[in-house]
Chain A
Amino acid sequence: MKFKIKKYKYVILAAAFAFTSCDDYLDINDNPNNPIDAPLSSLLVNSTYESTQNTFRMGNITSNYVQYLASPNAASASDVMEPVSYSGSWGALYNVMTDINDMILKAQEEEAAHYEGIGQILMAYNLGLTVDAWGNVPYSEAFNFVTVTPSYDDDAQLYSNILGLLDEGLANLSADSSISVGEDDFIYQGEISNWIKFGNMLKARYLNHFSETGSYDPAAVLSAVENGFDGNEDDAQMEYFEQAFNPWAQVAIDNANLFLGGWISEQFIQAMDGTIYGYDDPRLPLMVGATDDGEYIGTENGAGRGDAPEEGARSVLEEGDYYTQRQGPVLIATYAEQKFIEAEAAFGIDKARSYQAYLDGIRAHMNKIGVGQSEIEAYMNNPEVSMGVDAFTIDDIFKEKWVAMFLNPESWVDARRHDYDYEDFDLPANLNPDLNGNFLRRLAYPDTEVTRNGSNVPDVTLLDPIFWDE
């Protein structure tokens, strides 16, 4: 009996020992595949790449609204301005803003002022894209998982955040940084002076968005322009890669493979081929493709292609043009755009400066996409283009800016500020009847927000303007 008790004691001891070591045995749940932390440079790589991608994503949405593109299918939801749910693009914007948020916090910790500054500029840019499309959006409760249902901030307030971010960013870029930026920056490859110009250019862009509001300050816009881009070489853009093609080139490739997309709007063709303005624009063949017969024929927004076949009979984005080279750039902000901003801001203060900026803007874009010098001169010398300071109107700025901003989402901000008041710019066929014969003023909140954060989503219609569009 004694022996037995002794034996049991060992068993109990062994069992007790086994259980104390159990916790160690089970403590193997640290993820070996994903790191807990990511270095600044890897966050910058992703942030610059994804910010450029977002320029494409938003441009892909807005290009039908500003009638650069048209759907080959009749009454397609984007053409006829139905409330489409852009959950993917919304998610991409917040995804990169989350990464930028982490990059800024980490840069502050490591006193890497340049990373922090670039982060603030990219945050301002992505937040701007988001506010300009949707108005009130989450920001103050966003990114850091303080709640699963972040509240929505007021759009006008968000604009102060954007401008504040740009100012902070510019200050940080001018400060000393513990770590230097290099090839991890896909936009400027670490050239901080360019980031400073880009920050100022964005400041000019967002200040200029106030044009229709009482708080518009053209002088502030012009002072930001002073510190902005000095030429096309300063443009904020990212060239694509052998491993990842320019997304517009991909649209063109897909279309050639009959995954239809990138069909050119009749509005754009007719604005460029003389139908509307009475003169040819030499940029057209450098921007879009011709039909099998060598003609430029657009597709009417909302009407679809009718009985035209899937290929060869309409102008489409074709691989290899300026905007559709496999490794060509997506343009985020350009010197040409800045010139048109300057023209608009100066129009009421110094019309001669405004006129000159307008001409410079056209020339800058033509140079950018590779128009020959003689063709540039021929176009610039056309009295319809160089109408002289007196005949020059604000409409001329918007018309030329619209051409120069091809496929860029900023065009839709211009279109709304300009009340879609371009020459012969018609509502699409089969317009969403809920719009009562008006163009849309914002995007509908995406389904992911409605289903996942429904109680916070503002109740708006597509006709409710963003605050700067009152």
Chain B
Amino acid sequence: MKNKLIFLLILAVIQVSATFAQERTVSGTVTSSDDGMPLPGVTVQVKDTDRGTVTDFDGNYSIEVSSGEVLVFSSMGFERKEITAANQTTIDVSLAPDLQSLEEVVVTSFGIEQEKKSLGYAVQEISSEEITSTKQQNLVSALQGQAAGVQITNSGGAPGMSARIIIRGVNSLDPTADNQPLFVIDGVPIDNSTIESGGTPRGLSNRAADLNPNDIESLNILKGAAATALYGVRAANGAVIITTKKGQAGSVRVNINSSVGFDEVNQFPDFQETYGQGFSGVYDASSFWPNWGPSMEEINEIDPDVRFYDIWDDAMRTGTQIDNTISVSGGSENATFYGSIGKLDQEGIIPFSDWGRTSAKLSGEVKMSDKFKFSGNINYSITGGNRVPHDRFMERLVYWAPNHDVTDYINEDGTMKTYGNTNPIYDARFSTFEDEVNRTVGNLRFTYSPTKWLDLTYLVGTDYYSDKRTEITPGPLGIDGELPLDSQGFITETRITSRDINSNFFVTFKNDWTEKLNTTLRVGNDIFERDYERVDATGREFVIPEFYDLSNVNQVFNDQDKRKRRLVGVYGDLMVNYDETLFLNVTARNDWTSTLPIGNNSFFYPSVNLGYVFTETFDPGDWFTFGKLRASWAEVGKDTDPYQIGQTYSSPGVFPLNGNVGFSRFDRFGDLELKPERTTAIEFGADLSFFENRLGLDVTWYKSNSKDQIIPVPVSPTAGFTTFVTNAGEIENRGWEFILRGSPVRNEDFSWDVSFNAAYNRNEVVSIREGIEAIPIGSQFGYAGSTVSITLLEGEPYGNIFGTSYARYGADNNSIYLDEDLPIIIGPNGFPERNPAQLVLGNTTPKWIGGLKNSFSFKGIDFSFLMDFRAGVDQYNQYDNFFSAFGISEYTLNRNETIVFDGVLADGSPNTQPVWLGQGVGPDDRNYGAGFYRNTYRTISENFVQDASFIKLRNITLGYSLQENALAVLPFESVRLSVAANNIILYTPWDGFDPESFSAGAGGNATGLTGLGYPGVKSYFFTLNLGL
């Protein structure tokens, strides 16, 4: 089918018979009437044709016109001007600022530009400047705090580590679903998946990190179903539309961007520095126990040479990053190009962690005639690095006694130097995991406009990457007395290849029925294919130590995973514009998918949205510049992953055993009648601006319901399967989004712009299939039964964390919620009693998220800062659980105190019994065993489910651009120097490392489980921009 389309297209191309009128070249300069400064980027168009150009950096343009034709000069923020070309060869134009205009152009589906004014749904555009100024190397992280209703969470502070993006809440009950939006570059979707490591967390990248943020021109976030209806099933969670930089006609411009940055841990937990190694207050220099020994004073009485090291600081280093990008762009009226090469090298704060990206991009556009345009884009990148086992590193640091220098980790013979416990730095150095991704993203776009009212466009793109991973953990080196990292050692070679092909052909009909009524109709066909394959080979037990090759092992295990998915869509999109006042947009789409049973795999869904610019109809007053109301209703269908249907067998991972491979009936059965999911969304909004655009307000209310969810329903294992993939359940998200922007000061020398956004989301699991009470999303270990889990229940919001709590007097036994206001019950032993029942201790989905950005500019100086916040969110602090169990937290300093716990006895009378918090026999001669923190505190999940709200100063930048007088003597067109800092202020009630961390990686939904994550960082950057 795809081939046929290409064939048709070629036919269409051959039929092109362009005719050229008698033309001549007109050139000139466009300036601002305000200050006479040249205006770059002004669109110069020959009216009623597709011929056009834009002015270069100095406001110059040149264009072919026939006499009598009308030239239209337009630029955002300026009034349009039309000039009829007579016989002159030079037309200089001065444009007047138009403070009334709000004709912001945004890119929506398939790289099509649309006036923001005409849209009946919320979109939010982020400029290249706003992306690069964050200094985030991961495109997703760069969006933090910048768009209303878009929640970005970094999974940790490692170089290249993934970041998760969720728009308007989680839409799926399926614990394994990827709830993230579709990423689209120049009209063609690309892959943004995160493939985590199998064993201990290694913090791998989401694939959008392969893109160099310096190559991005703008980024537009489509939030609702209405906005994404045209992208079909893959955009059911919204879409991030990326437009990359293009060349512009004019002289060749070279841009050099160099940046160097330094990272440090931005927040440490509160540690105690009084008690040293041992247990029960007894010092033992080889004890497993790092911090349950006596105080340093007492230890130094035994051995005066023992020190208390700050191992947490010692084990980390200052991270560095060096980023260089050089781009060249330019072109003539008929052909433009943009090329860039970027190189980024990062070293993380945990020793031996690093990541880098080398990227090259080339794009060009050729106008072969007035009727035929062709553009292409290719982006090649190599990314990867050494991913240290950060979770294990931090865990081993928990166990490491601070009385030993953690940085003294290796003996001369290469074995680990230790008093007994595994040294985390030794492990980080030798347990390597290196990945290298080679990726090519490319697309071609052909546009043929045989007449004024008809465009034919064909867009084809591919996204191909290979991901090569090698994990090595050495076995024994064969040296007497060594403590090896692994009793056998192993090597795992992983090879992943993924290839996406997107083909999209559409025809656009434009018609001006009357002066006031015009329509645009677009119909098209869309084909997607993903071909994914992964091969894993693991070898165990090296024959020759330190020779890491699959041929050098005693046991080999192999695994293979192949997946293929295809989607075909047909769509129509009708836009009606009445007098620039009423905008109606109706879309319809039918998709066919390979992943649903044939017969159920075709699904249709429509959308309609309406925009009404009421300030065009009546004039509320001069102060009211612009006002638009919008409403939309949309449906989106959604398919599932490949190979979900029916019954199969699989070989459990334990095989082969002695050469025998066993098979077991696969525990998942897919409904033979599986049908597509449906999301229905409604949205209302208003876009208002006042005082000549000095103040703007955008408010949106939305509600979306996803029904017939395709979820792996857990069923009784007695039935023959444990998971039944079927349509079951509904989830609802509703909320508000606010954007407030203003320009309190705007004059020639000084300007101040501020923008604020905030979003509130409420989520509810409306229903789950009858007979199914709960859907488990994830769980994380806590000592002595304090493991917490995230489970979905009907009528409850997504992300409730369940765990153990202190027993409460007067608690309602039927409530699943912990009532923290009730008094704690103190047992007969004088210690708080534990309630082993799993109660809701918090929720991991933030209620409020938002950001605030301020930018100031004064002559050549610019200054900006971006803050973001989240509120109403709880997380499980696994670090704290470990820190209490091992006597590391500052609060364990009271371990030798005798206290009376605040609470009541089982009969409700106040507790008066004094108890000692320490280990062993207390001052009252009673034996307290392992002590309060190990016997009680660490076993109560409630202690570790904590408020993870924060306000962060994401970025603060001070820049200086050389002014004309200085540039005059330099060989540069522009020079800008800037210093920036990220995350230097973190305000949070959370005690621990940066709360923005979770172990599942961006693709996982259990975001509230922090794990022993890679600590978050603050960074400082120095950047130089040169324009030639």
Give A residues with C-beta under 8 Å from B.
11, 14, 17-18, 21-23, 25-39, 41-47, 49-50, 73-74, 77, 90-91, 94-96, 98-99, 101-102, 137-138, 142-145, 147-150, 183-184, 186, 241-244, 258, 304, 306-307, 309-311, 448-449, 451-455
Given contacts A38-B663, A243-B657, contact A90 B717 (CB under 8 A): yes
Task: Tell me the B residues contacting A by CB distance below 8 Å.
Answer: 1, 4-5, 8, 279-280, 288, 540, 554-555, 557, 560-564, 566, 568, 592-595, 597-598, 601, 642-643, 645-652, 654-667, 669, 714-722, 724, 771-774, 784, 836, 919-921, 927-930, 935
B762 vs chain A, min Cβ distance (A) = 26
Contact A27 B598 (CB under 8 A): yes
Ordered by A's residue number, 12 sampled pairs between the chains whose C-beta atoms are within 8 Å are A25-B594, A29-B594, A33-B561, A43-B663, A95-B722, A99-B664, A145-B720, A148-B719, A149-B715, A184-B660, A244-B654, A448-B717
Q: Check A307/B930 contact, CB under 8 A, given A29-B642, A43-B662.
A: yes
Quick one: given A33-B643, A306-B929, are A21 and B717 in contact (CB under 8 Å)? Answer: no
A35, A96, A148: which has the most chain B beta carbons within 10 Å? A148
Is B648 touching A244 in the complex (CB atoms < 8 A)?
Answer: no
Partner of A145 from the list B595, B598, B721, B784 (CB cut-off 8 Å) is: B721
Closest to B722 in A: A91
Once A46-B663, A455-B771 are accepted as A-B contacts, the answer to whether A94 and B717 lie under 8 Å apart by CB is: yes
Q: Is the beta-carbon distance between A25 and B648 smaller than 8 angstroms? A: no
Chain B residue with the shortest CB-CB distance to A45: B662
Contact A14 B594 (CB under 8 A): no
**Closest A-chain residue to B594, C-beta based?**
A26
On whether A310 and B598 interact (CB within 8 A), knowing A36-B649, A148-B715, the answer reads no
Chain B residues within 8 Å of A99, by CB? 663-665
A45 touches B661 (CB 8 A): yes
Bound CA span A94–B772, Å: 19
**Which chain A positions have C-beta within 8 A of B664?**
38, 43, 46, 50, 95-96, 99
Q: Are B648 and A14 in contact (CB under 8 A)?
A: no
In the assembled complex, the Cα of A252 lies from the Cα of B83 at a distance in Å of 90
Number of residue pairs across A and B with beta carbons under 8 Å?
203
Which residues of the other chain, B, contact A17 by a CB distance below 8 angstroms?
4
Nearest chain B CB to A303's CB is how many angstroms away?
10
Given contacts A25-B1, A243-B657, A258-B288, A91 and B717 within 8 Å (CB-CB): yes
Inter-subunit contact A244/B721 (CB<8 Å): no
Q: In the complex, are the beta carbons of B718 and A138 less than 8 A apart? A: yes
Besides A46-B655, A243-B656, A448-B714, 15 other CB < 8 A contacts? A14-B4, A17-B4, A26-B593, A27-B598, A28-B566, A28-B594, A38-B664, A42-B651, A49-B654, A138-B716, A143-B719, A148-B771, A149-B771, A448-B722, A454-B773
- Given A26-B594, A46-B663, verify A21-B1 contact (CB < 8 Å): yes
Q: A17-B4, A90-B717 are in contact. Are A26 and B598 (CB under 8 A)?
A: yes
Complex Cα distance, B655 from A47, in Å, reads 12
**B residues near A46, Cβ cutoff 8 Å:** 652, 655, 662-664
In the complex, are the beta carbons of B649 and A452 less than 8 A apart? no
Q: Which residues of A lie under 8 Å from residue B648 when comparing CB positions?
A: 31, 34-36
Top 4 A-B residue pairs of the complex, sorted by shortest distance between their CB atoms: A46-B662, A34-B648, A45-B662, A38-B663
- What's the Cα separation between A351 and B840 when bound, in Å? 61
Do A26 and B657 touch (CB < 8 A)? no
In the complex, how many angstroms separate the beta carbon of A298 from the nearest chain B beta carbon? 17
A118 to chain B, nearest CB (A): 14
Q: How far is the CA of A453 from the CA of B770 in the complex (A)?
A: 11
Which residues does chain B contribute within 8 Å of A451, judged by CB atoms? Answer: 714, 772-774
The answer on a CB contact under 8 Å between B560 and A453 is no
- Complex formed: what's the CA distance from A37 to B45 in Å? 66
What's the nearest-Cβ distance from chain B to residue A383, in Å?
42
Q: Is the CB of A95 within 8 A of B667?
A: yes
Decide: B601 and A26 in contact? CB cutoff 8 A: yes
Among B555, B595, B929, contact of A29 (Cβ-Cβ < 8 Å): B595
Main secondary structure of the interface of A (DSSP, over half): loop
In the complex, chain A residues whose CB is within 8 Å of the CB of B666 = 34
CA distance A22 to B661 in the complex (A): 38
Alpha-carbon distance A18/B662, docked complex (angstroms) = 44
Give A226 to B559 CA distance when docked, in angstroms: 47
| Pairwise interchain contact A147-B719, C-beta atoms closer than 8 A | yes
CB–CB B663/A453 < 8 A: no
Q: Which chain B positions have C-beta within 8 A of A258?
A: 288
The answer on a CB contact under 8 Å between A22 and B279 is: no
Residues of A contacting B4 with CB < 8 Å?
A: 14, 17-18
Residues from chain B with Cβ under 8 Å of A42 in the complex: 649, 651, 661-663
Question: Shortest distance in angstroms between A79's beta carbon and chain B's nearest beta carbon?
Answer: 13
Q: A31-B648, A307-B920, A310-B288 are in contact. Are A452 and B771 (CB under 8 A)?
A: yes
- CB of A98 within 8 A of CB of B665, answer yes
Please name all residues of chain B whose beta carbon is closer than 8 Å to the beta carbon of A49 when the two chains form the complex: 654, 657, 662
Distance in angstroms from A181 CB to nearest chain B CB is 12
Given the known interface contacts A26-B592, A307-B927, the answer about A244 and B714 at a Cβ–Cβ threshold of 8 Å is: no
Query: Bound state CA distance, A99 and B663, in angstroms?
Result: 8
Question: B562 touching A33 by the CB < 8 A rule?
Answer: yes
Shortest Cβ distance from residue A275 to the other chain B in the assembled complex, whole angstroms: 23
Which chain A residues lie closer than 8 Å to B595 at the CB level?
Answer: 29
Residue of B nearest to A37 (CB): B649
The answer to whether residues A29 and B645 also contact, given A49-B654, A448-B714 and a CB cut-off of 8 A, is yes
A36 to B665, CA, bound (A): 9
Q: Which residue of A lies closest to B658 (CB)?
A: A241
Residues of chain B lying within 8 A (CB to CB) of residue A143: 718-720
With the chains together, A136 CA to B935 CA distance in Å?
38
Decide: B594 and A150 in contact? CB cutoff 8 A: no
- Shortest CB distance B421–A (Å): 10
Point out which of B594, B648, B665 has the most chain A C-beta atoms below 10 A from its C-beta. Answer: B665
The answer to whether B8 touches A14, judged by C-beta atoms less than 8 angstroms apart, is yes
Shortest CB distance B647–A (Å):
7
Closest CB in chain A relative to B786 CB, distance in Å: 13
Interchain CA distance A318-B772 in the complex, whole Å: 43
A242 CA to B601 CA in the complex, in Å?
A: 47
Q: List A contacts of B564 (CB < 8 A).
A: 28, 32
User: A310 to B930, alpha carbons, bound, how many Å?
Assistant: 10
CA distance A343 to B594 in the complex (A): 65
Q: CA–CA, A307 to B921, complex, Å?
A: 9
Partner among B1, B665, B716 whose Cβ is within 8 Å of the Cβ of A449: B716
Give the CA-CA distance A140 to B663 in the complex, in Å.
24
CA distance A372 to B595 in the complex (A): 65
Q: How far is the CB of A392 from chain B (nearest CB, A)?
A: 44
- Complex CA gap A45/B598 in Å reads 36
Residues of chain A within 8 A (CB-CB) of B935 are: 74
Question: Does the CB pair B716–A148 fall under 8 Å?
Answer: yes
> In the complex, what residue of chain A is closest to B562 when comparing beta carbons?
A32
C-alpha gap A45/B771 in the complex (Å): 35
Instruction: List residues of chain A with CB within 8 A of the CB of B655.
Output: 45-46
Bound state CA distance, A464 and B669, in angstroms?
A: 35
Q: Measured between alpha carbons, how far is A32 from B560 in the docked complex, in Å? A: 10
Instruction: Name the residue on A nearest B642 (C-beta).
Output: A29
Known A-B contacts A14-B4, A27-B598, A28-B564; the reply to A452 vs B714 at CB < 8 A is yes
Chain A residues, Cβ within 8 Å of B540: 243
- Let me know if A36 and B647 touch, CB within 8 A: yes
Give the interface centre of B645, B722, B920 by most chain A CB atoms within 10 Å.
B722
**A150/B657 in contact, CB under 8 A:** no
- Which residue in chain A gives the minimum CB-CB distance to B599? A23
Known contacts A243-B555, A451-B773, A45 near B288 by CB under 8 Å: no
User: Closest Cβ of chain B: how far from A440's Cβ, in Å?
Assistant: 17
Distance in angstroms between the alpha carbons of A453 and B836 in the assembled complex: 23
Q: Beyond A28-B566, A29-B643, A45-B655, is A307–B718 a contact (Cβ under 8 Å)? A: no
Please, which residues of chain B bring their CB within 8 A of the CB of A39?
663
Chain A residues with Cβ below 8 Å from B647 are 36, 145
Is there contact, CB below 8 Å, between A144 and B720?
yes
B927:A306 contact, CB within 8 angstroms: yes
- Chain A neighbourhood of B643, CB < 8 A: 29-34
Q: How far is the CA of A335 from the CA of B654 in the complex (A)?
A: 30
Contact A34–B650 (Cβ < 8 Å): yes
